[in-house]
Amino acid sequence: MSNLTSANEARTAPTTDFGIFYPLGYLVVAFPKQEDARQVQRDLMAGGYDQADCEFYTSEEVADAAQRNLADNKGFLARLGWSDEAVKTHLEAARQGSAFLLIYAPGDTDAARAMNVIRRVPFDFAHRYQRFTIEELT
């Protein structure tokens, strides 16, 4: 998923953890329906988000990126954390047709605000990438 980084990625480096996708300061959210992901994106943008801070990805884009990321990073260090498991979860959801949003939410208030909008529709999962942890939000 290394191709799934914001145009503003410089402010949130690193985006990988030993080569595995790790968008620090972002939420990765999977939605069973593409129209729900698009609605959340529109709602967040109406609330002040820029498109670069709330990017939409199709299941095909995420599946391709996740497969490449996992194939390219098979070493011991890449498997130390939970990063590879999160990418595997992204891949499985993508294979089932889920659409994704990559939402910039660096702080607790940002994440809570985004989750208030996300919870309006059904979603598969929301992973919050923080320094040293990946939190699954509900």
What residue segments make up the domains of the chain, in order of their start? Answer: 21-137
Whether the Cβ atoms of residue 70 and residue 42 lie closer than 8 Å to each other: no
pLDDT value of position 6:
40
pTM for the full predicted model: 0.83
Whether the Cβ atoms of residue 78 and residue 9 lie closer than 8 Å to each other: no
Tell me the per-residue pLDDT of 92-116, one tens digit each, with 9 for 90 and over.
Answer: 999 999 999 999 999 999 999 999 9
- The two tokens of residue 67 are 């497969």
Contacts of 35 (CB under 8 A, 6+ apart): none
Grade residue 84 by pLDDT with cuts at 50, 70 and 90: confident
Task: With CA atoms as reference, report the closest residue to 52 among 41, 62, 36.
Answer: 41
- Per CATH, the number for 21-137 is 3.30.70
- The two tokens of residue 138 are 């509900």
